[in-house]
Amino acid sequence: MYIVQIASECAPVIKAGGLGDVVYGLSRELEGRGNTVELILPMYDCMRYDHIWGLHDAYLNLWVPWYGGAIHCSVYCGWVHGRVCFFIQPHSEDNFFNRGCYYGCDDDNMRFAFFSKAALEFLLQSNKKPDIIHCHDWQTGLIPVMLYEIYKYHGMEYQRVCYTIHNFKHQGMGGVETLEATNLNRPDYYFQYDKLRDNFNPFAINFMKAGINYSNAVTTVSPNHAIEAQTSEVGCGLGHTLHLQKEKFTGVLNGIDYDFWNPEIDPYISHNYNWHDFEQKAYNKKALQERLMLAHADKPIVAYIGRLDNQKGVHLVHHAMYYALSKGAQFVLLGSATEPAINAHFQHEKQFLNNNPDLHLELGFNEELSHLIYAGADMIVVPSNYEPCGLTQMIGLKYGTVPIVRAVGGLVNTVFDRDYDQNLPPEKRNGYVFYDMDNQALESAMARAIDLWYQQPEQFQQLAIQGMQYDYSWNVPGAEYLEIYDWIRHKW
């Protein structure tokens, strides 16, 4: 099968969050299964050019229709760790991708509307005929619209679109000017409720809603998040749209890259290990205590790795620090705040607790250190308010670090409570789960984990080993996406 992925990110060359990891990991898995996979990306001035090999001219005279004229673009091709990537570079006074950033500009909607138009124009002009066009998030939501309203009449009638939503919070909005710029025009037609009109703003079109309505299949990044998006505020106003399109909407759990997150081969940890020689993990705990100047005490280490913001349940992260200390555990935090007030609060806590031998707060992000924390900690807490998929808990499981998670999103699909999960036998359970967003719920799960570590260490070790035996690589999701691709090729 010939698959083209179109996205605003691909790790490690363009990475602002988990989207980049997913685009790269899924592409590699699909290619490893014998498919031809190519990626189309914006050519940002600030991307990591040192991760591109063999960058060369691919299509130098791409003219992209825009408003009443056209914008001249160059398309370059290179290999990003083995993946074939095409980078679109517009030559325009708008400087769409020469901003020194990926996102955050006032005209982001127009920047990515142009990118979507340019990607389709490149496929058309270069005579590429993929079986599947796989688009990601709001930035590419207009692609299926333009494909089925314009480009199918110019020789692209057989392409089918899978559209994956990674974060419902950011949906992309536009107005009549977006329709004019992309040559869709006809506002009376596209501003109908069953087309592009935002569900709550009658004067705006919604890029994500456009992608949902026009694509052949819609996915999000975990089965449980797909249910939440239709039935709760997690869908951010798109629940009704998803319900109307439920026959083509499903959740496919993200995978993680076991070439990068794997204690057997990880170059960033003190001692490599797997579940067969689990005792080697203890050397990483000692190395972590030494590096962070924690007391060399026979205590469990509870860790938190991730952003410090409301989505991640920051108030519970704060409470987890003090509760871990009160239960005779050590606590390690690695993360950066997205808001000044949250950052100031944790900076104050860092100074206040600076001399505590059982706690370390690392405010910022350090990739190398994160590996050692995963390997050295005994437990990792993930108390998210909402979590579409979550990678932290899956990485923790691979490293034998028992997750303590809130029952939302993909956390429900990956962590199964040792004491209370009735759907799995005890030998298949791998962590601790709590439901409410209050301190008592978090304490209940943390207490069960810490008490097991102290009182029944052999059983705690067995729980950690059971987690390591789970396969959350791209193997299963890769197969699921190929089934979706086959379905839309034959259904439509």
Q: Give the C-alpha separation, 402 to 239, whole Å.
A: 33
Q: Give the C-alpha separation, 84 to 361, whole Å.
A: 40
Residue 492: its pLDDT value, please? 66
3-state secondary structure of 36: strand
DSSP states along 203-260: T-EEHHHHHHHHSSEEEESSHHHHHHHHHSGGGTT-HHHHHHTGGGEEE------TTT
Give strand pairing partners of 174.
205
Q: Give the C-alpha separation, 491 to 247, whole Å.
A: 12
Residue 389: its pLDDT value, please? 96
* Helix ranges (DSSP H) in 387-474: 392-398, 409-414, 439-455, 457-468
Q: Give the C-alpha separation, 183 to 186, whole Å.
A: 9
Residue 388: its pLDDT value, please? 96
What element of type H or E holds 146? helix 143-149
Specify binding-site residues for ADP-alpha-D-glucose: 15
Joined together, the tokens standing for residue 256 give 């993680």
Q: Give the C-alpha separation, 341 to 479, whole Å.
A: 43
Task: List CB contacts of 368: < 8 A, sequence separation 6 or more.
Answer: 268
* Contact indicator for 63, 71 with CB cutoff of 8 Å: yes
**Residue among 287, 293, 298, 66 nearest 184 (CA):** 66
The parts of the chain modelled with pLDDT lower than 70 are 492
**Residue among 193, 400, 200, 186 nearest 300 (CA):** 400
Work out the end-to-end distance of the chain between its first and last CA atoms, rounded to an integer number of angstroms.
16
Read off the pLDDT of residues 281-331 as tens digits, 9 standing for 90 and up.
999 999 999 999 999 999 999 999 999 999 999 999 999 999 999 999 999
* Contact indicator for 251, 223 with CB cutoff of 8 Å: yes
Specify binding-site residues: 15
What element of type H or E holds 30? helix 18-32
Residue 219: its pLDDT value, please? 98
Which class for 434: exposed (0-12), middle (13-18), buried (19 or more C-beta within 10 A)? Answer: buried
